[in-house]
């Protein structure tokens, strides 16, 4: 009887470890975007978005005399999921992004609202370019920093 109990405890422990490994192993697994835009060193890609016009409760934004709206831009490594801030306090609805290093990235925008007299803004969730519900016409995209080779020399 005791050996059966040990067997079942061992079996369920092993099963739990396997399931946990599967969950951890797929934590960074992502669906690739519909398109990758290539950005070479020293170049940029213009990221644009629609202006935020409502609060989370669907009320309109307060007038500019009561609160200031701005945006934060980030990229997220497609490989690791690490989020890298690019710019904050942007008051337009587009920005030229220069990628930090070679790799594949997902672009993200969040809105922040700073009420008059306050020092800490209310910040929205980040809208990522891998999410079809926030992308124009549902077309997801990513940015890929890559460069080509130099021209061959010493031709004979």
* Residue pointed to by tokens 């969950």: 23
For the chain, give the mean pLDDT: 84
* Residue 40 binned pLDDT confidence (cut-offs 50, 70, 90): confident
* Residue 51 binned pLDDT confidence (cut-offs 50, 70, 90): very high
Contact residues for 65 (Cβ-Cβ < 8 A; gap 6+): 116
Summarised one tens digit per residue, pLDDT across range 14-25 is 444 343 343 334
At 41 the pLDDT is 76
Q: Which residue has the higher pLDDT, 151 or 65?
A: 65
| Mean pLDDT score, 62-89 | 96
* Predicted TM-score of the model (pTM): 0.75
At 44 the pLDDT is 85
Whole-angstrom Cα distance, residue 121 to residue 92? 17
Give the count of beta carbons closer than 10 Å to the beta carbon of residue 152.
6
At 2 the pLDDT is 55
* Residue 5 binned pLDDT confidence (cut-offs 50, 70, 90): low
Whole-angstrom Cα distance, residue 13 to residue 10? 5
Encoded tokens for 91? 């008051």
Summarised one tens digit per residue, pLDDT across range 80-139 is 999 999 999 999 999 999 888 899 999 999 999 999 999 999 999 999 999 999 999 999
């Amino acid at each position: 009887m005791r050996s059966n109990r040990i067997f079942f405890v061992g079996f369920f422990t092993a099963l739990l470890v396997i399931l946990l490994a599967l969950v951890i192993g797929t934590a960074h697994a992502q669906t690739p975007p519909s398109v990758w835009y290539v950005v070479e060193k020293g170049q940029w890609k213009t990221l644009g978005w629609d202006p935020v016009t409502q609060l989370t409760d669907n009320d309109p934004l307060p007038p500019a005399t009561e609160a200031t709206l701005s945006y934060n831009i980030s990229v997220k490594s497609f490989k690791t999921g690490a989020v890298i801030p690019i710019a904050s306090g942007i008051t337009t609805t587009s920005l030229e992004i220069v990628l930090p290093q070679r790799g594949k990235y997902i672009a993200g925008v969040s809105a922040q609202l700073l009420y008059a007299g306050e020092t800490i803004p209310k910040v929205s969730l980040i809208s990522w370019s891998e999410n079809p519900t926030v992308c124009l016409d549902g077309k997801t995209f990513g940015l890929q920093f890559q460069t080509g080779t130099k021209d061959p020399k010493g031709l004979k």
